[in-house]
Amino acid sequence: DLFGAVMDHEDIPMTPRQEYSGLEQEQFLANWDRFHTRRPTLEVCESSELDLGDRQLRFIHIDGCHMYQCVVKDINLAVAHTAKRGVIAMDDYRGIATPGVGAAIWQAVGNGLLFPFAATHSKLYACASAADQKFWLQRVRDGGDIYPFPDFDLAVMSQRAGR
């Protein structure tokens, strides 16, 4: 994550930039500490600067540059480092101001790189294999409405009470 540096990205339109105010590392960690006893390892940099070596990650969250080319690179990096049963969460997949995000994500789905299993208003959750997609869909199936597609089912999680 870039935290405060995200304000300098040219690809974030002026209107939504206000949404990014206050996203600082200290606030993230304070919120994290509310739910966890062990702090995460944070890499504060552009994803293109990450050297993950042969590390395999269980959870990857993509939310940074909104340009198509950047998102394609982020997806490829995530897929290459997703562990078995790992989840890739992607933000801004359906935003009108972020069409490059949606284009890169759905292209990766069509090319067999990403296997989505759940969606919320702002995030799409996917895996790097069809087997992991089926595993996670079974775990979230009762929490949302199921939308069948030719190659997969997607659980859409609403914000209604009890969900």
Give pLDDT, residue 15: 47
Q: At what angle do helices 68-80 and 99-110 cross, to 10 degrees?
A: 40
At 94-114, the pLDDT tens digits run 988 899 999 999 999 999 999
Both structure tokens of 14: 């002026």
Flag whether pLDDT at 9 surpasses 60: no
Least confident interval from 19-28, 98-107, 135-144 = 19-28
Lay out the sheet containing 82-91: strands in order across.
Answer: 57-62, 82-91, 123-127, 115-119, 153-156, 145-148
CB-CB contact of 154 with 120 (8 Å): no
Q: Residue 71 — φ and ψ, nearest 5°?
A: -65, -40
Highest mean pLDDT among 13-17, 133-137, 144-148, 158-162: 133-137
Closest CA to 95 of 71, 75, 114, 129: 71
